[in-house]
Amino acid sequence: MFNQLGAFADLIKNAGKIREAAEKAFESLGQLEVEGESGGGAVKAKANGRLEILSVSIDDRLITDSDRELLEDLIVAAVNAALVRAREETAQSLSSLAGPLPPGLFPGLGPRTDPDGRGPA
């Protein structure tokens, strides 16, 4: 019990440094870019470490074939793949900064979840 209190006291003592490091890490996450793809690369989506979609590209062949439902499914799959990679890269970046983080400290940045985001893959 006393070990936990000591660790908590250290955490409080270093709160300013931790906050500053977290702010710098968040800034750098905007520069992290990852790409997800689907349909064998026919649809690609880029996201950053802040989990923002930066771009979506679609191969011209998909547009001329005009299978709207397939195209919509491929876009969703590519975006989800990009977000999964962004979460993984972000979690890795943050853990290298602060060491292992307690689960749930940064919601959505933990272990990989299934494409629907409902649970472990």
* d(C-alpha 35, C-alpha 27), whole Å: 19
pLDDT at position 28 is 79
Question: Residue 14's pLDDT is what?
Answer: 76
Share of the chain above pLDDT 90, in %: 30
Q: What does 53-121 look like in DSSP terms, one character per residue?
A: EEEEEE-HHHHHHT-HHHHHHHHHHHHHHHHHHHHHHHHHHHHHHHSSPPTTSSTTSSS-B-TTSSSB-
The kind and range of the H/E element at 38 are strand 33-38
**Residue 85 scores a pLDDT above 70:** yes
| Domain regions of the chain by residue span | 29-97
Q: What is the CATH number of domain 29-97?
A: 3.30.1310.10
Please state the pTM of the whole predicted model.
0.59
